[in-house]
Amino acid sequence: MSDIPSILEQRFADAILAQQATRDEIPTLWIKPASIREVLQYLKYQIEQPYRMLYDLTAIDEQARTHREGQPDSRFTVVYVLFSFERNAFLRLKIPLTDEQPVAPSVTSVWPSANWYEREVYDMFGIRFDGHPDLRRILMPRTWKGHPLQKCHPARATEMGPFQLPPEKQHEEEEALRFRPEDWGLKPEEVDPEHFMFLNLGPQHPGTHGVLRLVLELDGEEIVRIIPDIGFHHRGAEKMGERQSWHTYIPYTDRVEYLGGVMNNFPYVMAVEKLAGIEVPDRVKVIRIMMSELFRISSHLVWYGTFAQDLGMMTPVFLMFNDRERIFDIVAAICGDRMHPNWFRIGGVVQDLPKGWDKLIKDFLDYMPGRLKEYDKMVMRNSLFKRRTIGIGIYDTDEAIEWGVTGPGLRATGLEWDFRKKQPYSGYDQFEFDVPIGKNGDCYDRAVVRVEEIWQSLRIIRQCVENMPSGPYKADHPLTTPPLKEYTMQDIETLINHFLGVTWGPVIPPGEAMVGVEATKGHNSYYLISDGNTTSYRTRIRTPSFAHMQFVPIISRGYTIPDLLAILGSVDYVLSDVDR
Amino acid sequence: MSETWIHIIMVVLILLVLLTIAAGLIYVERRMLAVWQDRYGPNRTGPFGLLQVLADMVKIFFKEDWIPPFADKKVFVIAPTIVMMAVLMSFAVIPFTPGIGVVDLNIGVLFFLAMSSMGAYSVVLAGWASNNKYSLLGGIRGSAQMISYEVFMGLSLMGVVILAGSFNLRDIVEAQRKIWFFIPQIVGFVIFFLAGLAETHRLPFDIPEAESELIAGYHSEYSGMKFGMFFVGEYLGITLISALVTTLYFGGWLGPHFLPPIVWFLIKMFAFILLFILIRATLPRPRYDQLMSLGWKVLLPLALLNLLVTGAVVLYWHL
C-alpha cells in the first residue's frame, strides 16, 4: 500500500497544489479550494481504510507570516484535519484562499459535524462557507464587530479604546440574546408555537455545569429540538497564544479545560518541544504522566459527583469533592498550586519532586480504592440510578466517529480506542493499564468507562511511584525555558541562552506541529505554527468538548428534560473547554 | 367555660410546638446531612449552630416580599398558604397522647386524606400563578405525581382501618395494644411511607421541584416569607407523615411504662423524621413517568391485594 499523498496525487493530479513538510510528520497537502469537497468525499467513503473522522477544521490568517517556503500563495488558509481509525493516522489538508473577503466551499454535506467548525472559522476569521446551512457567529456575541483571529484585530482591551455601555448599546446587546427562532437557524415553517414550547435552559442553570444556554423546543416535557448557544465562556485563548511568549502561554493552557490542570499543559509543551526539537529526560516523562493521571482522577471525581447530583443524589458530590481535596493536597505539595498548577515547562517541569512526595501519593493510592468501592455501591449499583441512565442517550460507534467524539464517550460505544495506547506519547507504552470499554453507548456505559478509568489511573500512578527514574527534571537544550541554571556561570554560551530565554523567551524555529493527548474528556490537541519568533503565529486548540457539545442535540432528541440532564452529565463537558 | 379555655390553650400550644419542630427540623436536617456527607453543616451561630434557625427566620421575614409583575397576584399569594393550612389542619386529628390532641374525629383517616389532597393544589396553583415555564412544568409534574400516589395512599391505609374497625385515629392506636400494625400491615406500611415521601415532595420524589432540572420548579419565583411557607410546609409535612406512620403502624403513644406516652410518641416520630432525612441523603430522583408507572403498575395493585387479603383474613377468622 502506498502512502496517502501518492494515492491522492494519482487520483486528483490537478487538485493538489503542493505537499508541505511539517515537524509533526502528519502528511500535509494543499488542495485547490474548488476540489476540497470531492477530495474529502473520496477520503471519507471511497479510499481503502477511510478517514472517517473530521478531527478538526480551522483556519490560518497568513498575512503577517514570513516563513511560508514552498507553500502556495494564500491570504487565508482553511485547514482540515482528518483521522482514520483503520490507519491510526491523521491527515492534514489545506486550501488557500486569496481573496480579502474569502469564501470556501462548505463541507457540511460530507461531514455534518463541520457545521460548528465552519461557523467558528467564520466567526473568528470572516471566511464565508458556500453551502453552509446556518452560517452565523458561534463564540462571539452577535453584535461583535470584526473577526478576532484576523491578524488586524486587536488582542488586548487596551488597544480597543475604553469600554462603554450606553443604554442603547445595552438594549441592543439584550435584544441580541432574545430567542427569535428565525434568527437561530429555524425556518418559519419549522416553528409551531401552538404545539411546542420554547424553554431557555441556561446560561444560568444548575444542571448545565457552567454558562451554557440550550434553547429547548418541548412537546410537554419531550424534547423536539435543542438549539445550543455557546460562547459565554469564550476568553480568546487562541488569540492570547499569538500574544504571549511560548513560555508565558503555559498558564493559559491550564484554564482551557479547567478540571484537567496540568493535563492541558501536556499537549502544548509537547507541541513546542516538537517544534524546538527537544527530547525530554525520562524522569520528566514519568512526572508528567503521574501528575496528568492524578488530574484525570480529580476530573473524573468531579464528573462522578456532579453526574450523581444531576440525577438528584445529594451526597456523592460532597464525598467525591473531599477525595478531590486529597488530590489537590498532593498537587499543592508538589506544584505549589491546586487547580491550575502551571507546572510543565518547555523541556521539563518547574522543579524536581519535593522530599516525601512518594509517601503522599502512596497514602492516596491506599486510600482511594476503598472509597471507589463505596461509591460503586452507592451510585453505580443503585437501581434508581441505573433506571435513569441505562438506555438513555444512546449512540453507536459510527455516529460517534461521524461527529468527532473521542475519549470515554467513544469507548463507551465499544471501540477500544485510547490514544495513550494507540499513539503512545511521553512513554505511555511503558505502562501497564487496560482500556475500559462499554457496549451500548448509553449514559450508564459512559459512567462505567469513566469509573473504570479511575482504577486504571491509580494503576498507572502506582507504576510511576514505584519506577520513578532518577535524572534531571529538565532537558539540557538551549530552548528549554527557563534553562537549567547550573552552568550559566561557567560558560558564555549557556549564559546567553539563559539570558535570552528568561528575558525574551525562547525563539522557536519556524514550523508547524500538532500534538494531542488523551485528555480527561477526549482527545485534546494543540496545533502550533511558529514563524521563527518569540510568540506563536497561530495556536489552534482542538478540544474534545466542542465536538461533544455539537453532538448533544442529536442524541437528546425524543427524550425528556430529566433525561437531557442525565445526558449532559454523562457527556462530561466543561464549558471552558467548549468555548476556549 | 374553663374546658373551652383549656381546649384553646391546647390548640395554641400544639400549633406553637409544631411550628417550632418544623423550624427546628431545618437545623436538624442540615446537621444530619452534614454528618453523612463528611462536612460540618451550620456550626457558627450560637452553640453548635443552634441559632441558625433563628437567623434563617429573621432573614426570611425581613426579605422583600416580592411578587413578580407577570404573576397572577391573588393565586400567587394564596398558593403557599394552602400547603401550610392543609398540613396544619391534618394535625388536628393526630392523637399525640390520650389527653393531647385537638379533636377526636371519628373520620380521622378520611379527614387526613382530604387535607393531603388539598395540599397538592398548592403546588399546582403556585406553578400556574408564577407564569414561568419552569414553574409551570413543576406544577404539571406536581399534579401528575398527585394523581399517581393519592389513589394507593388511601388504599394502603384501608388495611389498618379494617383491622381496627374504625376511621378514628385514637381507636386505631388503642387497637394496637396487642400488636403494632406494621407487622400484619407491612405491605400497607411500606406503600404508605412511599406515598408519604411523594406527598411531602421530598427526595427521591421531589420531582416538581427537581433543582437540577427545573430550578426549584413550582416555587422558583417565590421569595421571602412566601417561600418560607413552602419551606416550613415541607417540614410540617414530614412531621405529619412521621406522626401518622407512628399512629397508624407503630402504636402511637403506646410503649413500656417507664416513659410517659408523649415521649414514646415523639421518639417514634423523630425516628421517622430521621429516616426521611437519611433517604434524602441517599437516593437519586426517578423520572416522573417512572414514578407514575411505579404507582399505577406496582403499588396500586399491591395496595389492592393487601386490602383484599386483610379483608379476607378478618372475615374468615372474625378478628
In a domain, A562, yes or no: yes
Which of the residue ranges A196-210, A245-259, B16-30 has the most confident prediction, judged by mean pLDDT?
A: A245-259
- Is residue A506 within 8 Å of residue A496, measured between CB atoms? no
Residue A199 lies in a domain: no
- The average pLDDT across A106-113 equals 90
Return the residue matching grid coordinates 506544584. Answer: A335
A402 to chain B, minimum CA–CA distance in Å?
A: 29
Q: Are residues A131 and A246 in the same domain?
A: no
Q: Of A218, A220, A184, A185, which is closest to residue A199 (Cα–Cα)?
A: A218
Q: How far is A310 from chain B (nearest CA, A)?
A: 5
- Cβ of A314 within 8 Å of Cβ of B37? The answer is yes
pLDDT digits (tens, 9 = 90+) for A553-567: 999 888 988 899 889
Contacts of B287 in chain A (CB under 8 A): 388, 560, 562-563
For residue B217, count other CB atoms closer than 10 A to its CB: 28
Asked whether residue A190 is domain-assigned, the answer is no
| pLDDT for the residue A1 | 45
The domain boundary, picked from A148, A168, A201, lies at A148
Nearest Cα to A469, choosing from A292, A280, A263, A284?
A: A284
**pTM assigned to the model:** 0.87
Which residue range forms the structural domain that includes residue A480? 241-579
Closest C-alpha to A424, from A235, A285, A545, A250: A285
We report the CATH number of the domain holding residue A65 as: 3.30.460.80
CATH code, domain carrying A401: 1.10.645.10
Same domain, A255 and A110: no
* A277 assigned to some structural domain: yes
Say if strands A103-105 and A128-130 run parallel, antiparallel, or are unpaired.
Answer: parallel
Is the pLDDT reported for residue A187 higher than 90? no
DSSP annotation of A430 reads G
Instruction: Quote the number of domains for chain A.
Output: 2
Residue A349, classed as helix, strand or coil, is: strand
- B273/B267 Cα distance (integer angstroms): 10
Q: CB-CB: which of B36, B212, B284 is closest to A385?
A: B284
Q: Are A541 and A198 in contact (CB under 8 A)?
A: no
Together in a domain, A292 and A393: yes
Residue A468 has pLDDT above 80, yes or no: yes
Read off the pLDDT of residues A14-33 as tens digits, 9 standing for 90 and up: 888 888 888 888 888 888 88
Chain A partners within 8 Å of B289 (Cβ): 560
pLDDT by residue (tens digit) across A220-248?
788 888 888 888 889 889 999 888 889 89
Residues A299 and A407 in one domain: yes
**Is the preceding omega at residue A96 within 30 degrees of 0, hence cis?**
no
Q: For residue A322, which residues of chain B lie inside 8 Å, CB to CB?
A: 38-39
Å between A560 CA and nearest CA of chain B: 9
Task: Give the 3-state secondary structure of residue A436.
Answer: coil
Q: How confident is the model over A360-377, as pLDDT tens digits?
A: 999 999 999 999 999 998
3-state helix, strand, coil split of chain B in percent (to 5) is: 70, 0, 30
Record: contact A315-B203, CB cut-off 8 A: no
**Residues B181-206: pLDDT tens digits?**
877 888 888 989 888 888 888 778 88
Q: How many helices (H) and strands (E) does chain A have?
A: 19, 15
pLDDT digits (tens, 9 = 90+) for B266-313: 888 889 999 988 888 888 888 888 888 888 888 889 989 988 888 888
Q: Is B246 helix (H, G, I), strand (E, B) or coil?
A: helix
Facing A199 at nearest CB: one of B133, B210, B212: B133
* Within a domain: A78: yes
Residue entry with cell 530565554: A501
Nearest to B284 among A197, A199, A311 (CB): A311
What pLDDT is stored for residue A2 in this prediction? 56
On the 0-12 / 13-18 / 19+ scale of CB atoms within 10 A, A14 is: exposed
A303 compared with A485, residue with greater pLDDT: A303
- CB-based contact (8 Å) between B31 and chain A? no
Residues of B in contact with A315 (CB under 8 A): 33, 36-37, 281-282
Residues of A in contact with B281 (CB under 8 A): 314-315
Express as a percent the part of chain A with pLDDT over 90.
29
Q: Is residue A24 part of a domain?
A: yes
pLDDT of A541 higher than 90: yes
C-alpha dist (Å) from residue B139 to A77, A134, A194, A205, A492 = 54, 36, 20, 19, 77
Q: Of A128-137, A189-198, A204-213, A517-526, which range is least confident?
A: A189-198
Considering A106, A131, A148, which residue would you say is the last residue of a domain? Answer: A148
pLDDT at B27: 86
Strand locations in A327-431 (E): 344-345, 348-349
Please compute the mean of the pLDDT values over residues B158-167 and round it to a whole number.
85
Give the integer Cα–Cα distance in Å for B10 and A88: 81
Exposed / middle / buried, residue B61 (Cβ in 10 Å: 0-12, 13-18, 19+): exposed
The last residue of a domain, from among A119, A148, A177: A148
Specify the length of chain A in residues.
580
- The answer to whether residues B218 and B142 touch, using CB atoms and an 8 Å cutoff, is yes
Dihedral of CA atoms B73, B76, B81, B86 in degrees, nearest 10, equals 130
User: Which stretch of DSSP H or E encloses residue B120?
Assistant: helix B108-129
Do the Cβ atoms of A319 and B212 come within 8 Å? no
A44 Cβ contact partners less than 8 Å away, ≥ 6 residues apart: A50, A51, A52, A82, A110, A111
Cα separation, A384 vs B279, whole angstroms = 13
Nearest Cα to A234, choosing from A546, A562, A459?
A546
Q: What is d(CA B170, CA A172) in angstroms, rounded to the nearest whole number?
A: 68
SS (H, E, C) A194-263: CCCEEEEECCCCCCCCCCCEEEEEEECCEEEEEEEECCCCCCCHHHHHCCCECCCCHHHHHCCCCCCCHH
Write the pLDDT tens digit of every residue in B20-70.
888 888 888 888 889 888 888 888 888 888 888 888 888 888 888 888 888
Task: Report d(CA A169, CA A475) in Å as an integer.
Answer: 52
ipTM of the complex: 0.83
At A281-335, the pLDDT tens digits run: 999 999 999 999 999 999 999 999 999 988 888 888 999 999 999 999 999 999 8
DSSP characters over A449-493: HHHHHHHHHHHHHHHHHHTPPPS-SB--STTSSSPPSTTTTT-HH
Give the cell for residue B173.
392506636
A205 → chain B, closest CA residue: B215
User: Are A369 and A485 part of one and the same domain?
Assistant: yes
Residue B272's identity, in one-letter code, is F
B12-38 in b/e burial notation, b at 16+ Cβ within 10 A?
Answer: eebeeebbebbbebbbbbbbbbbebbe
A200 vs B contacts (CB less than 8 Å): 133
| Domain shared by A135 and A251, yes or no | no
Q: What percent of chain A has pLDDT over 70?
A: 100
Answer whether residue A185 is part of any domain.
Answer: no
CA distance A340 to A251: 7
